[in-house]
Amino acid sequence: MKRSILYVVAGTLLVSGGAVVQGKSVAGIWNASVTTPNGGGNPTLTFAVKGDSVTGTVKRPTGEVVPLRGTIKGSDLTYTYTITNDGQPVPVTVKAKVVGDSLSGTMDFAGAMTGQITAKRAKK
């Protein structure tokens, strides 16, 4: 009985530890490429991870830096940030898959436009 309880506890620790390890793998600086119907750009993404929560910044090609917030669950990364267009706030939602040192996914600009994003982890 004691042995089976130990196996259950050890298995639970391994599974929950796997989620944390995956989440931490996105932490750091990423060089991105964005493509939209109106063009695109190359922002720099910085992610910090605590549990499943992701925080960080998007440094836009204009030099503007905006905060981001999101989650990482396994390889699924979702985050949001807000930009301004003609003085109006535009919430941006990104849904991406993280595989090693690469991520790729879609962007939604307040339902008015969509785009694609790819990124590679910056070399240290």
d(CA 91, CA 82): 4
The whole-model pTM stands at 0.80
CA distances from 4 to 7, 16, 77 (A): 5, 18, 35
Tell me if 96 sits within 8 A of 33, measured CB to CB. Answer: no
CATH number of 2-121: 2.40.128.120
CA-nearest of 64, 103, 104 to 83 is 64
In the chain, what are the domain boundaries? 2-121
Tell me if 30 sits within 8 A of 47, measured CB to CB. Answer: yes
Q: Which residues pair with 85 in a beta bridge?
A: 88
The tokens describing 38, both together, are: 């109106």
For each of the chain's 124 residues, which pLDDT tens digit applies?
Answer: 544 433 333 333 333 333 333 445 899 999 999 999 999 999 999 999 999 999 999 999 999 999 999 999 999 999 999 999 999 999 999 999 999 999 999 999 999 999 999 999 998 7
